[in-house]
Chains A and B, each alone.
Chain A
């Protein structure tokens, strides 16, 4: 069965057909969703794509380089605030989108290095707590920098942010093409899709590049990697900077798409959710990460229908569905991890590590005592 699937996958014609089918599906998805589930779900689709970009960025830091980052959302915040402050009535600045996006990515990258540089010597969970603290520091500053000089407008957040627009083409307005009408959320979908594909492409190319292999080497054994001539300092900083700049881009898009941002959108829970996306999907494996991002964005939204479900099952609403939502979400996290500890779609390398191959297992057991500190 699997054999046949691989042969089928390798056949170039079927591969092309699959890609074309996927492309058509992705292009038609907002219309299908809009027709079947309503406009609200097209918006969720847009957010899904933002989270795909975010998760792929964190995948570079955690999945490839093995640096546990619990403050990742801070870079998202940096990108979003960069966009919001330079393209809103708050400072009465209205810089164009094409200038802001690279600027946001760049600034987030700089913050990534700022976080990375002092923490190079830290390992594992010490790094996790420092990144967590860093994320909280950024959020608290965003929350309080409205006095004595009003920079971020504090907890109220920034309002009336310019929508993403290129030249005279604004993504938030309804456009019509070939007699079809494209409301703002649809045009945003195509923009986000294009950028998500770009991020996927970059991630794929990085995976097997010299840099990507260096990241994996550091993840597996930093001392050995250094002995192999890898400049671990620069390569680790590069992982932080690249991961951060992905988040900066999605942050900018988020600000333009939403039109309003406040520090509340960038709390620790968001960082944790993005981490859950990549671990749940399968760390270091791009299809897995995408799957994780899609699942964890769509699943909580789908749980909003719990009220209707209770109505049809019991004839009345027993428990407020919004209260039940996160409970079920947490349970799902526990169950998935217990039954698929390596993630839903683990990378080939991890699959091998977790394979039921008895000889490999025996070997690992035997070497367990050598490697334990």
Chain B
């Protein structure tokens, strides 16, 4: 089996999930300059809700097809997460619109803690397994193996990202979003209801996060109340890597981070003569991030931040 191809495939699958979550971070940051720490937790809720729906439907002998059950779970997760995204912005961030940015950061951390513990109270501390509802098909590809699930994840993320790009670049709503990101007050003067636009941004980000959460739990076959933390951290890293606030950057950063991680995990042992093992995978990701930011302080695709005169 070709290890390089295999690691590349794994990396791209992981990376497309990172990219979906990173989009939520980058859209919110682009508009509010806020690190939405609760975003990883929204992803976790997506996974948990999907699994709860699947558990309720699959166990009762409803006779539904496995694919239909997963689809229903996914739709439920998206719906709940969209409501969550809206409520989080409304309750925790909107009152702080004119407050110092660190205050909003602390509420974001507070929301994240609350959601995590809420999930723990609802679903308990144990790992929840994703039932094998869909048949796993393996394909040979240049000496490596790719599953139908991996293909599905990559295709769906690509479609969603393309859809988002079209939405942002070519629709009225997208134009309003870009205007709000550039100058909120002036956008307001131009007749854009910036509060609505910000709410919409959170809702879109939360929907993408829900999809990503379901993907992660399906890919690893597991979900856990703590899973949002590391996933959110990685996705935020990806967003910064690509240049935070930049939508294409988040996609590039996500894919890149996934590939770097998986190549790093596969080759770090061989590179260092067995001194460092694959548990240094996370170090690798952060190390690359630091190196990239030293060379390009505003990320790969980020615009140079103009210094205030």
Contacts and interface: CB of A to CB of B under 8 A. Distances in A.
Of B92, B293, B299, the most chain A CB neighbours within 10 A belong to B293
B117 interface: yes
Contact of A368 (B106, B114, B185): B185
A279 B108 CA distance: 13
Contacts of B186: 369
Nearest to A68: B102
A320 B183 CA distance: 47
Contacts of B293: 119, 122, 126, 129-130
Nearest to A373: B306
B35 A331 contact: no
A372 interface: yes
A10 B84 CA distance: 51
Nearest to B289: A133
A337 B276 CA distance: 43
B117 A333 contact: no
B118 A327 contact: yes
B169 interface: no
Interface in A249-285: 268, 272, 275-276, 279-280, 283
A140 B282 contact: yes
Interface string B265-285: 000000000111101101100
Contact of A369 (B92, B100, B185): B185
Given A330-B112, A337-B110, A136 B100 contact: no
Contact of B290 (A124, A130, A272): A130
B121 A327 contact: yes
Nearest to A66: B102
B240 A125 contact: yes
A133 B290 contact: yes
Contacts, number: 145
Contacts of B107: 333-334, 337-338
Contacts of B274: 148
A276 B279 contact: no
Given A275-B106, A368-B185, 14 more contacts: A119-B293, A122-B297, A126-B297, A130-B293, A223-B309, A330-B112, A330-B114, A330-B116, A331-B110, A333-B106, A333-B107, A341-B99, A342-B103, A372-B185
Interface string B244-258: 100000000000000
Given A272-B109, A337-B107, A121 B297 contact: yes
Contacts of B63: none
B64 interface: no
Given A125-B35, A148-B275, A342-B103, A371 B110 contact: no
Interface string A134-153: 10110011011001100000
Nearest to B285: A133
Given A126-B297, A221-B308, A338-B96, A327 B185 contact: no
Of A136, A143, A342, the most chain B CB neighbours within 10 A belong to A136
Contacts of A268: 233
B86 interface: no
Contacts of A222: 307
Q: Tell me what chain A mostly uses at the interface: helix, strand, loop, or mixed.
A: helix
A228 interface: no
Contacts of B95: 338
A118 to B, nearest CB: 5
A302 B299 CA distance: 43
23 contacts: A62-B102, A119-B290, A128-B35, A130-B289, A130-B290, A136-B282, A221-B308, A323-B121, A327-B113, A327-B117, A329-B113, A330-B113, A330-B114, A330-B116, A330-B117, A333-B106, A334-B110, A334-B111, A337-B104, A337-B110, A341-B99, A369-B183, A372-B183
A118 B112 CA distance: 30
B287 interface: yes
A337 B299 contact: no
Contacts of A144: 276-277, 279-280
B300 to A, nearest CB: 12
Interface size class of A (residues with CB under 8 A): 35 or more
B193 to A, nearest CB: 19
Interface size class of B (residues with CB under 8 A): 35 or more
Of A62, A122, A341, A343, the most chain B CB neighbours within 10 A belong to A341
B113 A326 contact: yes
A319 interface: yes
Contacts of A126: 240, 244, 293, 297-299
A131 to B, nearest CB: 10
Contacts of A316: none
Given A133-B286, A140-B283, A323-B117, A373 B275 contact: no
Contacts of A272: 109
B219 interface: no
A123 interface: yes
A223 B308 contact: yes
Contacts of A123: 297, 305
B279 A333 contact: no
Interface in B23-38: 29, 33, 35
Contact of B103 (A130, A331, A341): A341
B305 A129 contact: no
B236 interface: yes
B76 to A, nearest CB: 24
B159 interface: no
B294 interface: yes
A50 B255 CA distance: 42
B151 interface: no
B99 A134 contact: no
B117 A326 contact: yes
A315 B298 CA distance: 57
Contacts of A324: 117, 121
Given A129-B236, A327-B121, A341-B99, A137 B287 contact: yes
A20 to B, nearest CB: 36
A371 B95 CA distance: 23
